[in-house]
Amino acid sequence: MISDLVDSTTTPSPFEPAPEPARYGAPRRGIDPDRTKSWMRRALPIVAAHKVSFATALSVSFVSLVLQVEIPQLLGTDALNKAVVPFVEQASRPVAERLPASHFEHLLLHYVVLVLILAVGAGICGYISRLFLMTTAYQIEFDLRNIIYSHLSRMSFSYYDRVQSGQLISRANSDIRSVQMYLTFGPSILVQCLVAVVAFGYMLATNVALAFVAMCAMPFIYVAGVRMRAVLFPVSWLIQSRLAEVATIVDENINGVRVVKSFAAEGQQLGQLAGAARRLRWAYVKDADVRAQFTPVVQNLSQLGLALVLLFGGWLVVHDHLQVGTILTFSFWIVMLQMPFQMLGMMIMMGQRASASAHRIYEILDEPAEVADRPGATDLVECRGDVRFRSVTFRYTPDGPPVLEGFDLHLPPGQTVALVGRTGSGKSTVARLIERFYDATEGTVLIDDHDARDLTITSLRAHVGMVLDEPFLFSVSIRDNIAYGRPDADITDIEAAARAAGADGFIRELAHGYDTIVGERGYTLSGGQRQRIAIARALLVNPPILILDDATSAIDVQVEKAIHERLETLMAGRTTLIIAHRLSTIGLADRVVLVEGGRVVADGTHAELLATTPLYAEVLAQAAELEATEAETAEAPGAGEPEAADRRGGRDS
Ligand SMILES: Nc1ncnc2c1ncn2[C@@H]1O[C@H](COP(=O)(O)OP(=O)(O)OP(=O)(O)O)[C@@H](O)[C@H]1O
Ligand SMILES: [Mg+2]
């Protein structure tokens, strides 16, 4: 109940992080943080974490391939040369010297059975190696994805101010895939090449001259593969960046759909998307064109190898240096070997793409979180709610203008302070610095006399509740949205928080009450309803420091008044910073602080400021004017409120 909520502020307990069930299995290893190493060495720990399944995949695949290399040997050199050719040859001998046909049939059957056994063996090994290889591949992908997401979740606001979410989504998907492919299929192609060496050894053992003739087309196949890669690489790079471009446009269009529609700018947006899609299509078609040019070349080069083996092998057979079955064996091997040589070229191409992808992924991972726990940071416990800004200067970007400059402010425990100033004067920035969304560029923000930078971020943020003017709701039930900061809260507490925020009434009128699922970002609710849920969410956590940043801007004056009455009770014993334009909201505060040009220019009660600072009256008048234009149908802005503000101002002065 609300009384419980208030009570627990006065009896603080040691900091305990909110229970948060792990949703992703943590990856076993991260990437090597040493930036001087090559990208593959940096990725090695991730691969090494799955070495057992990877090594199994590679060794079993080696066995499977060796078995496959044996098959042409059995078919040509053994079955044909030892069973079929002698039978044909003995036709020229006298009948008495001939062996019975059944002898050759048995021999043939023997080899056929052997071939079948090898084929089945190779098939089983192929299954096992493929299964293990793919398992490893997806494990690596899973790890990379979790490493990136957990890193992103640690990143500071300044990072999200800079990056485009479409780029991030694209990187997290296609770049992870291309790195994963190379890390797993690269070694597997190398195994195939190793098997090619084994096969070449077999060829040399069978006939040295024919072995060289058979292999003479292979370097050309490799060179064609490398050529193809050289042409393809820039194209595939282009595809990646254009995919990201399309993703960014789609992402912004979907997230900004309300703006797009309100300006009837669908046509313009579609045009923009079509342009990006056209550029992407061009890159894809170019890619297909290059592949189509090179594939026949590579294929026909291996046909050339076959023709040469037939020519030279046939000559050897005619001159009795070779048995005819060996030609068949060599032909099989050529067809088998063409693959690894072609893939070797492809592997180099994949390697370049993977290297580019890896660098983009590392770019994300190497970005340090600007706001992070210091070594030896302590937890904020038993927070009294004392907040102090000591000559704080703050810039959003190192070369940007200072938003706050020599900013001094003290919020004693339990006081309610209104921060007033023109738009863009830095009020929200003050709030963000208390929560350590950003760290002060110069000077110090002190919470209970601790430098905020010496406190752990989780414990600090657990003690500061913040409600923004444009609150974000998740696509879950209203109950879960309110309980976001305290997932274990029971329904009576949730209802009490909702009542305090003036949300209980409208929630009960919804079809499913507290179980109503809100649409994406809460767009099925009105702006004021969303704000009230956000206030309830902050109140439920019951933080000793509460920040309301224009948190009631979309709530109409009557409802706001009712909320204020309840908030007054709730704010007791709690340090509250109210950022507001409305007089009615300012009226809630014990003290008003006027901010201008990144500094505090006036500090006192509403009445004092009104009397001494012309700028204050000016800012209030501007805000009232703005509100009047915004709410054409609403009742006269500020009616009755100055009274409330005066009451408060008077009380304190
Ligand atoms: N993420 C950001 N990156 C860079 N500059 C920013 C960022 N957020 C705000 N600013 C700049 O800092 C200044 C102060 O912004 P702030 O949001 O604190 O103003 P505010 O007083 O809260 O204004 P409002 O009353 O309109 O909410 C503005 O000039 C703004 O352009
Ligand atoms: Mg603001």
Residues with CB under 6 A from ligand 1: 161, 396, 403, 421, 423-429
pLDDT at 32 over 90: no
Domain boundary among 364, 399, 430: 364
Whole-prediction pTM value?
0.72
- The answer to whether residues 414 and 360 belong to one domain is no
Q: Which ligand is nearest to the CA of 595?
A: 1
Band of pLDDT at residue 2, cut at 50, 70 and 90: very low
Do 418 and 541 fall within a single domain? yes
Q: Residue 166 — pLDDT band, cuts 50, 70, 90?
A: low
Residues 6+ apart with CB under 8 A from 71: 115, 118, 119, 122, 332
Q: Do 347 and 393 belong together in one domain? A: no
Residue 116 has pLDDT above 90, yes or no: yes
- Please indicate, yes or no, whether residues 101 and 189 belong to a single structural domain of this protein: yes
Q: Which one, of 329, 68, 82, lies nearest residue 210 by Cα?
A: 329
Q: Is residue 498 part of a domain?
A: yes
What is d(CA 529, CA 501) in angstroms, rounded to the nearest whole number?
10
What is the CB-side half-sphere exposure of residue 34 using CA atoms within 13 A? Answer: 10
The answer as to whether 124 is a domain residue is yes
Residues of the chain with pLDDT > 70, as a percent, come to 91
Provide the pLDDT for residue 308. Answer: 92
Residues 184-193 have a mean pLDDT of 88
User: What is the CA(493)–ligand 2 centre distance, in A?
Assistant: 30
pLDDT tens for each residue of 627-642: 777 655 444 333 333 3
Q: Mean of the pLDDT values across residues 452-467?
A: 89
DSSP notation for 455-513: B-HHHHHHHEEEE-SS----SSBHHHHHGGG-TT--HHHHHHHHHHTT-HHHHHHSTTG
- Domain carrying residue 435: 387-652
Tell whether 417 and 534 lie within a shared domain.
Answer: yes
Instruction: Give a yes or no: residue 502 inside a domain.
Output: yes
**Per-residue pLDDT, 114:** 94
Strand order in the sheet with 591-596: 464-467, 545-549, 575-579, 416-421, 591-596, 599-604
Residue count of the chain: 653
> Of 305, 333, 364, which one is at a domain's C-terminal end?
364
Choose which residue among 393, 397, 425 to substitute to test ligand 1 binding: the one with the highest number of ligand atoms within 8 A of its C-beta. Answer: 425
pLDDT tens for 189-237 read 889 888 888 889 999 998 999 999 988 888 888 888 788 878 887 888 7
Same domain, 500 and 555: yes
- pLDDT for position 12: 43
C-alpha of residue 213 to centroid of ligand 1, in Å: 74
What's residue 212's pLDDT? Answer: 92
Domain CATH number, residue 134 = 1.20.1560.10
Which residue among 397, 427, 439, 594 is best mutated to probe the pocket of ligand 1, counting the most ligand atoms within 8 A of its Cβ?
Answer: 427
Strand, coil or helix: 421: strand
Query: Looking at residue 16, what is its pLDDT?
Result: 58
Report how far residue 614's alpha carbon sits from residue 118's, in angstroms, rounded to the nearest whole number.
95
Nearest CA to ligand 1 atom 9: 429
Provide the domain count of the chain. Answer: 2
Within this chain, do residues 401 and 336 fall inside the same structural domain, yes or no? no
Confidence category of residue 119, pLDDT binned at 50, 70, 90: very high
Same domain for 272 and 333 = yes
Give residue 585's region: left, alpha or beta (phi > 0; psi -120 to 50): alpha
Q: Is residue 15 part of a domain?
A: no
**Quick one: pLDDT band at residue 175, thresholds 50, 70, 90?**
confident
What is the pLDDT, as a whole number, of residue 260?
85
- Residues with Cβ within 8 Å of 179's Cβ and at least 6 positions away in sequence, in order, are 43, 144, 354, 357, 358, 361
Average pLDDT for 358-376: 85
Write out pLDDT tens, residues 490-543.
Answer: 899 899 889 888 888 889 988 888 998 887 777 778 888 888 898 899 888 888
Domain boundary among 364, 398, 427: 364
Q: Residue 181 domain-assigned?
A: yes
What does pLDDT average to over the chain? 83
Counting ligand 1 atoms within 8 A of each CB, the residue from 394, 396, 601, 620 with the most, and so the one to mutate, is 396
Cα 431 to ligand 2 centre (Å): 9
**Greater confidence, 554 or 61?**
61
DSSP string, 592-641: EEEEETTEEEEEE-HHHHHHH-HHHHHHHHHHHHHHHHH-SSSPSTTTTH
641 alpha carbon – ligand 1 mean position (Å):
28
Of 546 and 622, the structure prediction assigns the larger pLDDT to: 546
Listed in order, strand segments (DSSP E) in 348-401 are 387-395
Say how many Å lie between the CA of residue 412 and the centre of ligand 1: 25
pLDDT tens per residue, range 142-161: 988 888 888 888 888 888 88
Q: What is the mean pLDDT of residues 432-454?
A: 91
